[in-house]
Amino acid sequence: MSNRVRISSLFAFMAILLVTVGVVQSPSLALAILNLCLISAIMALGINIQWGYAGLLNVGIMGFAALGGVAAVLVSKEPVAETIALGAPGLLAALLVAAVTIALIVWVYKSMKGRLRSVLVTLIVVAGFFTARHFFDPAVEAIESTDSAATGYLGGLGLPIIFSWLVGGLFAGGAAWLIGKVSLGLRSDYLAIATLGISEIIIAVLKNEDWLTRGVKNVTGLPRPYPVPYEVEIQQSPAFQSWATYFGMDVVELSSIVVKLAYSGLFAVVLLIILLLCESALRSPWGRMMRAIRDNETAAEAMGKDVKGRHLQVFILGSAVVGIAGAMLTTLDGQFTPGTYNPLRFTFLIWAMVIIGGSGNNWGAVLGGFLVWFFWVEAEPVGLWFIDLVTSGMDETNPLRLHLLSSAAYMRLMAMGIIMLLVLRFAPKGLIPESRR
């Protein structure tokens, strides 16, 4: 079966699955799944750029996605004038001190040697840290104590939220640059561990720096991007109500479908743009070089290719795509909740998508994103049904039955692990293998 036929039939299968859910469960649920499938697919594309094109292992997807989420808050929320007046000067001073400190460290590190250098660097770090804290702490205190139930943070720029998708990409790309600088060029394990670390730290910062994102108090009520409407508004429009009667549907149900469809349209456009860019990049000389480096690093290096530089490039690009998807996700949710970022859901599930879909093939990554997310969502009711069936012979109050029913949700973790292992073993190239060009 040629790859093209394979791709079309697998995507057709996917479409059938979604339509089935729409008919059996509800169209609104099918669209909700579809929207997250689209976002997952974009994240999987980002990881596929890193892993499939260059063999780089990113285990910090959660952090990059969360950076996208921050961008959504910082771009779209209205600025809080009061807290800015109180805290901005202190924060700026702290930022300046931090910048000067880093510049000094770099300068000392490059221009000196030996013991003197270590002592000086330590001194600068300590002095810089305390000076920055001197400005930072009171400013944060002032911001966070201002109307902390409603704001207690700086707010954002008050721009349309759609810009945050780009900004999210920039944030994630910046973090990737930092990590890549440190750990690229070393063993591949080190990059994996370093990304794991940075993602934990990003989440810790977002949970605790209330002045920035209100921490675990969450930021709710993010505006929607144009042209997604609000349910309440369209429900009141007479034209919409006549449509509802025409389709014979409930107004509330139809409004929810319309809103989700609008999101789907937006997300699909982004996915297609990124997919198109990825595909053309893969076909370009740049893509050829990337694959050459991946397949034989030593040879590529001997031919004068800047392996580390290319890796850094690809790592930043991939992480930026994840950041974009992260911002889209927060936009869809309409709120930013740092407490919900969980590595199993955000990092490892995306890996399952890439591995199962087919690493190195963009269509494979997209398919993996769809299929795995669909499975992830639908495994819960199916697992519950399965356990219910198995234990149906038992008494209603049997403790084992009750325990199994309450634990059914975790079966999907096991199932996902097993599926990944099966793919690694029996179809290491995934459902849609990389096509040789």
The tokens describing 35, both together, are 């929207």
Cβ distance to other proteins smaller for residue 190 or 243 = 190
Q: Name every residue whose Cβ is closer than 8 Å to that of residue 287 and which is 6 or more positions away in sequence.
A: 53, 281
Rounded to 5°, angle at Cα 334 from 333 and 339? 65
Q: How far apart are CA 298 and CA 307, in angstroms?
A: 9
279 binds other proteins (CB under 8 A): no
Among 413, 429, 433, 435, binds other proteins (CB under 8 A): 413
Cβ distance to other proteins smaller for residue 195 or 256 = 195
360 binds other proteins (CB under 8 A): no
- Chain centroid to Cα 390, Å, comes to 37
190 binds other proteins (CB under 8 A): yes
Cβ distance to other proteins smaller for residue 160 or 428 = 428
Cβ distance to other proteins smaller for residue 30 or 140 = 140
Cβ distance to other proteins smaller for residue 210 or 231 = 210
Among 19, 92, 182, 394, binds other proteins (CB under 8 A): 182
CB of 321 closer than 8 Å to CB of 42: yes
As to burial, measured by CB atoms within 10 angstroms (0-12 exposed, 13-18 middle, 19+ buried), residue 268 is: middle
CB of 427 closer than 8 Å to CB of 368: no
196 binds other proteins (CB under 8 A): yes
Q: Name every residue whose Cβ is closer than 8 Å to that of residue 139 and which is 6 or more positions away in sequence.
A: 86, 87, 88, 89, 90, 91, 93, 94, 211
Q: Cβ of residue 182: shortest distance to other proteins, in angstroms?
A: 5
CB of 370 closer than 8 Å to CB of 434: no
Cβ distance to other proteins smaller for residue 82 or 380 = 380
Instruction: Write the DSSP assignment of 50-92 as a string of letters.
Output: IIIIH------HHHHHHHHHHHHHHHHSPB-HHHHHHHHHHHH
Q: Cβ of residue 418: shortest distance to other proteins, in angstroms?
A: 6
Among 6, 117, 207, 305, binds other proteins (CB under 8 A): 207
As to burial, measured by CB atoms within 10 angstroms (0-12 exposed, 13-18 middle, 19+ buried), residue 176 is: buried
CB of 318 closer than 8 Å to CB of 50: yes
Q: How far apart are CA 213 and CA 234, in angstroms?
A: 31
State the binding string over 302-341 for other proteins (x if CB under 8 A, else -): ----------------------------------------
Q: Tell me how many residues contact other proteins (CB under 8 A).
A: 46
193 binds other proteins (CB under 8 A): yes
Picking from 326, 373, 324, 313, the residue whose alpha carbon sits closest to that of residue 63 is: 326
Cβ distance to other proteins smaller for residue 265 or 417 = 417
Cβ distance to other proteins smaller for residue 123 or 344 = 344
Q: Cβ of residue 72: shortest distance to other proteins, in angstroms?
A: 23
From 98-106, 151-159, 222-230, 408-416, span contacting other proteins (CB under 8 A): 408-416
348 binds other proteins (CB under 8 A): yes
**Residues in touch with other proteins (CB under 8 A):** 55, 57, 59, 129, 137, 182-183, 186-190, 192-194, 196-198, 200-201, 204-205, 207-208, 343-344, 348, 351-352, 355, 406-407, 410-418, 420-421, 424-425, 428
